[in-house]
Structure 1
Amino acid sequence: MASTFPADEAKLVSIFMQTLLYGVFCPLFFATIIVLRRKVAAQSGMSKVMMGTAITMFILATMHIGVNFTRIIKAFIIFKNEPGGPAAYFNELSNFTNIFGSTIYVAQTLLGDGFVLYRCAVVCGRKYWIVAFPGLLLMGSTVTGIGILYSFAKVAQDAEIFLPELGHWIVSFFTLTLATNLICTGLVAARVWKINKMSERVGTANLMPVLLVIVESGAIYSATLLTLLFTYVADSWAQYLLLDAVSPIVGITFSLVILRLSLGLTAPDGVTRTFHDLHTHNYGVGSSLWAPPSVAGKGDSDIQLSAPSKTPSGRRPTETQVSEDDAVSNV
């Protein structure tokens, strides 16, 4: 595979794909910032976290594509007549531009995984024991990411990236970050599904569109990681295509979730949704999927509580009014 699709050709195709994806990410990023500014102005703590995350993701994605263009120029113009040509330059793992670009990639991946973990913790009512295992996986990803960078700095100049001593770190990193995303996405989806099933009993809002957004965003990123893992294990230079695509894809999936929820693109009904307090019906779950923190008085969302009329069971549940802007605060 490596001989039929050499490193220099793979890198050219990868920078083309990354540029296209970066072009998709840019308008989504600016639209996300516009949406989040309203929430930050309303002193929504969760939105401040998302604002900082979005800006950092955009900076890292921009830096990564800049490093890749620098490597293209050096390989095909400055060092084109060196022994081995452009392919030899791309295979030089200890080169500063390769280590710097890999550092940006690791940072972008860990940032995305960290936010997925944080979102999962918030949606699960800040019950941190639920996210303890994916938290350990994130720590493992951090260690293996550092191991990759250290190995690149110490490896022989003409060593290929498919060496076993490098492969242990790289495969572990891909596997851990894939597992983190699958588990966190599964936990959030399960929480939404559970709330939806219980809310159906009292005739409140349908959360299936929200569930689909969560699953779709997780599936896009997870499918990219899985394909990247397969191409690397197969010793294929096609892994460059997926590797360089990950950076903008992380930002794209992050922005799409925010925009689709905040702009009401997933809402089958009006601007405001109603969730009855499920405690009243002895379901053992908090009053809202979105905001255990704000109910506790921490101000992370704009949730308003009121007492509506009696339910069919004759009780007076607490009703939580959640606007489309509020929904995005915790998902």
Structure 2
Amino acid sequence: MGYRNSVGLRMDMACGTGFVLETGLFSIYTCLFIAAFPVLTSARRLKDVRSAKSAWVFLVFSILMYVVATAHLLLQGVRFYRSTFRQFDPKVRISYLQNRHNWEFPGLVLLIYIQTWLGDALVIYRCYFVWDNNLWLLSIPVCLLLGTIGVNCYVAYMLDHPVNNSISILLANSIYPLAFAQNFMTTSLIILKIVLQHRESKKAGVVMLGSKLDLIHVVRIVIESAAIYTTQLLILIILYYRSDNFQYAIQPPIVPSIGITFLLLAVRIEASRHDSATTRSDLVFAAQ
């Protein structure tokens, strides 16, 4: 995730915009984290026989992702301050932002990677839980995640050991597409399972018409929650291959967006739960 010769918005303006957007999303993320924490730590979730394990996994990952997002915002703030208030010449600002040897740059890259790994691992685990512990079904998403980790580590190594060959460029260009493919596939698998479960429940006559937490309503919540991160990735892919500087305004907010996706899902399902009775399948999914 280094810098290339780009077009569009000036780099220092794009990076400044990215910091502002990340700060705004992090504020929303903090509010969601505070609102969701009682839900994540409720005795019903953590002590329920069917959902205790997944609830603990979700709680630990949620805390880790919030810590990573906080650290990333702090480093981003340092970078914004040093590039904006210590450098008044636009050319010097851009030169500073392009310098990969600034102490905060590797940390920012590493934190983005870690947040992506945490989010991908959590959505794979959720998919694993929803599909009744079916490992074979998740073989492709797991391979994509392992591929993403490998590519990220290689690109991080390239920051201090630049290599300009076709393989290196190909690997660097695959970062966003790999993340998009993995996220899209696992989300689709979760939605597919919910739809199939809805059909089975409908045939069995246990679907409660008018329920605010029927399975189709859960599908809508999943799609809307996942759309934030997925849309950002799609925009990043387009901007990256256009070599547009605006990618540096979209990239930093991805860190809080990943955490927002999961917390928003938990908060919305819990809010709907209080307004209606649910089927057993609803409870299994919502308890994750």
TM-score by length of 2: 0.88
In structure 1, give the amino acid aligned to 2:170. Answer: H
Equivalent of 2:205 in 203, 206, 210: 203
Q: Which runs of 5+ in 2 are unaligned?
A: 208-213
Q: CA RMSD in A?
A: 2.3
Task: Report the alpha carbon displacement of residue 2 of structure 1 after superposing the two structures with TM.
Answer: 3.7
- RCO higher in structure (CA 8 A, sep ≥6): 2
Task: Answer whether contact 1:261 1:327 (CA < 8 A) is retained.
Answer: no
Inter-partner Cα distance in structure 1 for 2:242 and 2:166: 13
- Distance 1:34-1:185 versus aligned 2 partners, 3 A rule: same
- Distance 1:105-1:212 versus aligned 2 partners, 3 A rule: same
Inter-partner Cα distance in structure 2 for 1:67 and 1:51: 25
- Distance 1:70-1:114 versus aligned 2 partners, 3 A rule: same
Q: Which moves more between the two structures, 37-46 or 100-109?
A: 37-46
Task: Answer whether contact 1:36 1:47 (CA < 8 A) is retained.
Answer: yes
Inter-partner Cα distance in structure 1 for 2:185 and 2:142: 10
Task: Answer whether contact 2:18 2:250 (CA < 8 A) is retained.
Answer: yes
2:79 aligned with 1:71:
yes
Inter-partner Cα distance in structure 1 for 2:94 and 2:36: 38
Instruction: Indicate the SS of the match to 2:9.
Output: coil
2:38 aligned with 1:34:
yes
Task: Report the alpha carbon displacement of residue 3 of structure 1 after superposing the two structures with TM.
Answer: 4.7
**Equivalences for 1:252-263 in 2 at 5 Å?**
252-263=260-271
**Equivalences for 1:1-331 in 2 at 5 Å?**
2-39=6-43, 41-42=46-47, 44-80=52-88, 84-155=91-162, 167-205=169-207, 206-264=214-272, 270=276, 272-275=277-280, 289=281, 322=283, 327-330=285-288
Inter-partner Cα distance in structure 2 for 1:165 and 1:240: 24
- Distance 1:116-1:47 versus aligned 2 partners, 3 A rule: same
Instruction: Indicate the SS of the match to 1:263.
Output: helix
Describe the superposition over 1:210-265 as per-residue Cα deviations: whole angstroms up to 9, x where unpaired.
11112222222111101011111111110011101100110111100111112226
Task: Answer whether contact 1:93 1:155 (CA < 8 A) is retained.
Answer: no
Aligned partner of 2:210 in structure 1 is: none
In structure 1, give the amino acid aligned to 2:190. Answer: V
Q: Which runs of 5+ in 1 are unaligned?
A: 276-288, 291-321
In structure 2, give the amino acid aligned to 1:197. Answer: R
Task: Answer whether contact 2:46 2:55 (CA < 8 A) is retained.
Answer: no
In structure 2, give the amino acid aligned to 1:137. Answer: L
In structure 2, give the amino acid aligned to 1:329. Answer: A
Task: Answer whether contact 1:262 1:327 (CA < 8 A) is retained.
Answer: no
Task: Answer whether contact 1:113 1:180 (CA < 8 A) is retained.
Answer: yes
Describe the superposition over 1:258-315 as per-residue Cα deviations: whole angstroms up to 9, x where unpaired.
11112226x8x72x3234xxxxxxxxxxxxx47xxxxxxxxxxxxxxxxxxxxxxxxx
Inter-partner Cα distance in structure 2 for 1:121 and 1:42: 20
Q: Which structure's residues are more often helix, by fraction? A: 2
TM-score by length of 1: 0.77
Instruction: Indicate the SS of the match to 2:220.
Output: helix
Task: Report the alpha carbon displacement of residue 201 of structure 1 after superposing the two structures with TM.
Answer: 1.3
Identity %: 24
- Distance 1:77-1:327 versus aligned 2 partners, 3 A rule: same
Describe the superposition over 1:66-93 as per-residue Cα deviations: whole angstroms up to 9, x where unpaired.
1111111111233546x93111111112
